[in-house]
Amino acid sequence: MPWAEWATRHADTLRLAGGFDPVFSRIMDLCGMEAGLMLMAARPDLVHALVAHIGAFLEEYYRRIAEAGQGYFDVLCFGDDFASQESLLLSPRRWREYFLPFWKRLFAVAHRHGMKAMLHSCGAVRAVLGDLIDAGLDIFEVVQITAARMDPAELKREFGAHLAFYGGMDT
């Protein structure tokens, strides 16, 4: 079925495009978790290069998805897991240095094509939710209420005026 016909048929639903194409998690996959986390502290030059290389590919990938889906999809979805059940897997300062500029660029891709930006990330991500909102995040998925500082009522009070919460409330 042609995209226009599909989009018209499903105009009364939230139409999502994209997926889980991480940067942080991909670096951990490439290097191994222990070595990847050590790189975050010991080799910022290498981490910046990895983020730039992976990020450039993903930015173009999502630009093409957004361009092809403009007018057909409402939300461009992204994903990365960079937190445990207790906290971020690296300091908020390092996360902001390495990854926040990348997310700002990806969220801008969605907005330039008339879509909302949605991010999936598991775990205790509260420390950087405000940063993600400032970078252009519109929708956050999934709130793991058993993770530290992820109480839904508190998140709604603190971020609800600027962020929609989507999906299951926990695994």
| CATH code of the domain in which 116 resides | 3.20.20.210
Q: Evaluate whether residue 83 is within a structural domain.
A: yes
Q: Evaluate whether residue 8 is within a structural domain.
A: yes
pLDDT of 142: 85
Q: Evaluate whether residue 171 is within a structural domain.
A: no
Query: Whole-prediction pTM value?
Result: 0.94
Q: Which domain holds residue 14?
A: 3-165
Q: Evaluate whether residue 170 is within a structural domain.
A: no
DSSP string, 3-66: HHHHHHHTTTS--EEE----SHHHHHHHH-HHHHHHHHHH-HHHHHHHHHHHHHHHHHHHHHHH
Domain count, the chain: 1
Confidence of residue 3 (pLDDT cuts 50, 70, 90): confident
Lowest-pLDDT range of 60-69, 97-106, 139-148: 139-148
